[in-house]
Amino acid sequence: MEERQVIVPFYQVPFNDRELEEVVRVVSRGYLTQGKETRFFEKLFRDFVGSRYAIAVDSCTSGLFLSLKYNGIGKGETVTIPSLTFASVANVILHCGAEIKWEDDVYVGKAYYMKNDRPFKVVDSAHQLERGIYRDFLDSLMCFSFYPTKLLASAEGGMICTNDHYAMEWLEKARWHGRKGGGYQYTIDMAGWKMNMTDVQAAIGIVQLKKLDGLNARRKAIVEYYNRELGEKCESLHLYTIDVDNRDDFLSFMDKNGVNCSVHFYTPLHLQPAYKEFKRELPYTEQIAKRIVSLPLFPTMRDEQLNLVIRLVKIWRDNDGKPRED
């Protein structure tokens, strides 16, 4: 096949010289930890998502952990999450001293509530970030990820968004050792953690946020084209997932033809050794987990790359999920 010469990565980070220039500017200034760049990023971000406050942290994992701690999650509590998600979500629950309950549902590529028996609103939004999105999750602590493959990429990092003034004050202290005040005249109001964002991360995030509407518009166009050509109904701008027969063979077939796909997530958490004490049967999750594949989706994806992916998927489907030598 002619298209074998075209290489389609699973993802490319949409960076250009602007991100590099901002990193150099911040490094040259000599102040690298949490400072005015981080504050400016928080302001831009809260305006973008539509929340009153935004608290920058070093990762979405830290954001979820601090959100659980603020809600008093600890020993004797149970938090319900999907099994088909990244390990960080389960780990923060255990690190809070709580137990895990699995939900037999799938939210890959979408935001979802972590659930508890009492009033409790923590949202894992690592996969979803669009203008005004917080208005769909009012009164929550909504956590975002800036991992390099996410919609807004940085040198990792995360953000917690809220409308709650008291939550904002607690989270700002908790992320940086429990300190209140700046300079050397600070107090330690609580035994906090070291989970603050750095100005280097924030500088990259600011550039990415300013481009995000345009990047998301291109992602949306790609998703709509995928849907139209493949007969799917995917809505996520982060992960474009489909079900396939003989998944491992499909991944090999795509790779041999120059297309790198991925799987989110290959083994559900309830079947992982680290969480064996919470193991239970999740028939729907287990069925989806055996078949789900993530196709390439990134804003710099060229039309010829997109058409190659679609053509190969159609070949696989027309051949009843069996490898075909061309």
Angle at 92 between CA 134 and CA 33, to 5 degrees: 70
pTM exceeding the 0.75 threshold for the entire prediction: yes
The range of the structural domain enclosing residue 287 comes to: 212-318
DSSP state string for 103-148: ES---TTS-EEEB-SSS--EEE-TT---TTGGGGSTTSEEEEE--T
Measure the CA–CA gap between 261 and 306, rounded to whole angstroms. 12
Same-domain pairing of 181 and 233 = no
Q: Which of 205, 222, 248 is the last residue of a domain?
A: 205
Q: Using only C-alpha atoms, what is the Rg of the chain?
A: 21
- Tell me the one-letter amino acid at 281: E
Lowest mean pLDDT among 32-36, 64-68, 92-96, 273-277: 32-36
Same-domain pairing of 220 and 312 = yes
Q: Which of 178, 205, 232 is the last residue of a domain?
A: 205
Same-domain pairing of 138 and 111 = yes
Alpha helices, DSSP H, located in the chain: 17-29, 36-49, 60-70, 87-95, 165-174, 199-230, 247-256, 283-289, 303-318
Q: Which of 159, 189, 205 is the last residue of a domain?
A: 205
Mean pLDDT computed over 62-91: 97
In a domain, 324, yes or no: no
> Among 38, 22, 48, 56, which Cα is nearest to 202's?
38
In a domain, 2, yes or no: no
Q: 261-270: per-residue pLDDT in tens?
A: 999 999 999 9
Measure the CA–CA gap between 90 and 101, rounded to whole angstroms. 10
CATH number at residue 177: 3.40.640.10
- Per-residue pLDDT band for 27 (boundaries 50, 70, 90) equals very high
Mean pLDDT computed over 7-22: 94
CATH number at residue 245: 3.90.1150.10
Q: 229-255: per-residue pLDDT in tens?
A: 999 999 999 999 999 999 999 999 999
- Tell me the one-letter amino acid at 62: S
